[in-house]
Structure 1
Amino acid sequence: MTDEGRETPAPDAPRGDALHGAAARDAAEAYRRMFDGHDRERVRRAGWAAAIAGALTDHFRPRSVVDIGCGLGFFLAAMGGRGADRLTGVDADWVEGLPTEIPRDRYLLHDLETPLPDLGRHDLAACLEVAEHLGAARGPSLVAELTALSDVVLFSAAIPGQGGRGHVNCRWQSYWAGLFAEHGHACYDPYRRRLAAMPDMAPWFAQNLLLFVREGGAVPDGIAPHRIAPQAADMVLPLVHTRLLRARERRFRAAVRQLEAAGLRFVPPGAAGGPDT
C-alpha cells in the first residue's frame, strides 16, 4: 500500500529510463518523509488496511499472504491479525531505517522493476497501488508473477489522472483485468462499493480494488455474484471516485487562475480560437 494519495499532479504515461529512475527516487524519498515520525499517517493507513482486510476475510481466511510492494506492511499486519500466519512482504530498500508493521525477517528487499525471485505459492497475493510506479514494460510480467504466486490476487493500481508521486504507468482497471485474463484469472468486483461507503477510506482503493481468482479454482463464498464478464470489462470496471475527480477539478481551476494572473487566457478545446478549431 504505497500510494500516498497526495493531490500532486503526476505523469500518466511511461517516460524514459533516466526520468523514470529519477521519479522513483523522488517518490521513495517522499514516502520516507511521510512516514518518518508521523504517527497520524500510520494510524490512517492502518485503518485503511484493517478495513480492506476485514472485507476480504468476510469471504475467506488465507493463512499465507504475500504482498508485492508492501510498503511498511500495514496490509500484512492487518491480515496477520485475522489469522494469516505466513506473511511475506516485498518492497524496495526505501523502507530501510523506518519502523515496520511486520517483523523484518518477513521482508524481502527487492527492486520491483526486476523479476521477482521464487517466493513459493500462497493462499493470497496482494499488490496494492504499486503497478503504476513501475514502467509500462513491467506491467505484463508483474501480473504473470502475481498469478504464479496465488490462485487469488487482490490488486489495485492508479488510473490515468489519479494524481500521486512517481506514477509512470497509470491504466484503466479494465487494462489490468485483461492481463489477468491472459493468465486464467477471472475478475471479481466485490469490494469497491463497500469501501466507497466508508467515509475515511482512501478513495483510490474504493475506485481500484479488484479480486482475481483462477478459473476453475475455488471461488470464496459470496464472491461469485460479483464476477465481471470479460466482454463487459470495458463498460463496468473503469471508475473515477468523485473525491479524486473534484480534486482534479480544483487543480485545474487553480491552474486557470495562475494563467489569468499572468495576463494569459485559457481557451478550451473546441472553442473559437481553441486548439481544435
Structure 2
Amino acid sequence: MTGVLSREEIRRRVDALGPWFHNLDLRGVSTAPSHFLGDYPRVKWRRFAGVIPDNLQDKTVLDIGCNAGFYAMEMKRRGADRVLGLDTDDEYLAQARFAADVSGLKIEFRKMSAYDVGQLGEKFDLVIFMGVLYHLRHPLLALDLIHEHVARDLLLFQSMLRGSNQVDTVECDYDFWTTSQFDSPGYPKMHFIEHKYADDPTNWWAPNRACVEAMLRSAGFAVAAHPEEEVYLCRKVARSGAAAIPAIPRGAAR
C-alpha cells in the first residue's frame, strides 16, 4: 500500500512515527537528517560493509535489536532469502515495518527480547547483534543464548566501547594473591552504569575492547574480522567447558 505514497505522504508518516534513531532514505525522505552521529548508521556501515558477502542468496538473517531496520534492509538488498528483525520497542518496530514497506522489501519483524530467542526454534546463517550488548542487564547471557539457540555460522557484532583499546595477553589462571593484572588498562573490563549515560537509562555497561573480545570468545564466537573499531564479524565455534545456559523468563528486563 505504501508503494503508492507520494513523497509528501511519506514525510508525514515519517514525522508521525518519529523520533527516529536510524537515518533512512525512504524514496528521498530522510528519517533523521539531524542525527548527532551524522548519517547514522550508513556512515558506520560503509566502514565494514565489505566483510559481509555481497550475495546472501539462500541465506537466512536474524537482526536482534533491529531498531528501524537499517541492517535488516541492507541484508535483504543483498538477496537474503529470509530476514527476521527483533526488537522490544513498539515504536521502532512500527518504523521498521513502514520503512521496509516503502522500500519494497519483504522482511518480518517481531517484538521479542534477546533473552527469548530460544522461542524461535530455528538457526540463522547470519545473526546481527549491533548496538545491543550494553543496553542489556545480562549481556553475557544474551551472547550465550544466541550461541545456543539461533547462531548457525556468522555473528555480526557491535558494541559501544569505552576505556583503553589495549588488549593484554591474559593467563588462563592467576593465584589468589596476584592482583596487578586488574589494574592494567588492557585487562578485560566492563564499567557498570547505575543511572544514565548519554541521557539513556538503558546504557547499563561500557566495556573496553579487551572485555568485548573476551566475552565473544567465552560465548563461543571466534573473531574472523575486525573491520571497524567497534565491529566484529565472528564465526560460531564450540565452547570449551561452558556451563548449561539457564532459561530466562519471558519479559525479562533489558
TM-score (norm 1): 0.51
1:78 is aligned to 74
SS in 2 for 1:72: coil
Indicate the residue corresponding to 2:249 in structure 1. Answer: none
Percent identity, please. Answer: 18
Pick the aligned partner of 2:95 from 93, 98, 104. 98
In structure 2, the partner of 1:183 is 219
- Pairwise mapping of residues 1-277 of structure 1 onto structure 2 (< 5 A)? 32-34=18-20, 38-40=31-33, 44-45=39-40, 47-48=42-43, 51=46, 54-58=49-53, 61=56, 63-92=59-88, 93-98=90-95, 100=97, 101-102=99-100, 106-112=108-114, 114-119=115-120, 120-135=122-137, 138-148=138-148, 149-150=150-151, 151-160=153-162, 164=198, 165=200, 166-192=202-228, 207-215=229-237
Tell me: CA distance 1:41–1:53, structure 2 relative to 1, closer, same or farther (3 Å): farther
Cα deviations by residue, 1:117-160 (Å, 9 ceiling, x for unpaired): 4331111001111111111xx11111012223222111011123
Change (3 A) 1:82 1:41: farther
CA distance in 1, matches of 2:72, 2:234: 18
Where structure 2 has 5 or more consecutive residues not aligned to the other structure, the ranges are 1-16, 23-29, 164-190, 192-196, 239-254
Measure the CA separation in 2 of the matches of 1:158 and 1:35: 15
CA contact (8 A) 2:64 2:128 kept: yes
How has the CA–CA distance of structure 1 residues 38 and 61 changed in structure 2, closer, same or farther, with 3 Å as cutoff?
closer
Give the number of aligned pairs. 169
Check whether the contact 1:160–1:172 (CA below 8 A) recurs between aligned residues. yes
Quick check: which one's helix share is greater?
1
- In the other structure, the counterpart of 1:235 is none
Q: Contact (CA 8 Å) 1:49, 1:74: kept in 2 or not?
A: no
Deviations along 1:226-270, one digit per CA (max 9) or x if unpaired, are xxxxxxxxxxxxxxxxxxxxxxxxxxxxxxxxxxxxxxxxxxxxx
The alpha-carbon deviation at position 97 of structure 1 amounts to 3.9
Secondary structure of residue in 2 paired with 1:90: strand
Shift of the 144–125 alpha-carbon distance from structure 1 to 2, 3 Å rule, reads same
Pairwise CA RMSD: 3.3
Using CA pairs below 8 Å that are at least 6 residues apart, which structure has the higher relative contact order?
Answer: 1
CA distance in 2, matches of 1:124, 1:105: 15
User: Residue type matched to 1:78 in 2?
Assistant: E
Aligned partners of 2:52 and 2:159: how far apart in 1?
A: 21
Residues 166-207 of structure 1: CA deviation (Å, up to 9, x unaligned): 311121232232222223321233412xxxxxxxxxxxxxx2
Structure 1: which 5+ residue stretches go unaligned?
1-30, 193-206, 217-277
* Residue 49 of structure 1, CA deviation: 6.8
Q: 1:59 to 1:185 in 2, by over 3 A?
A: farther
| Alignment partners' CA distance in 2, 1:147 and 1:191 | 22
Is the CA contact 1:53–1:78 (under 8 Å) kept in the aligned structure 2? Answer: no
Q: How far, CA to CA, are the matches of 1:123 and 1:49 in structure 2? A: 22
**How has the CA–CA distance of structure 1 residues 59 and 85 changed in structure 2, closer, same or farther, with 3 Å as cutoff?**
closer
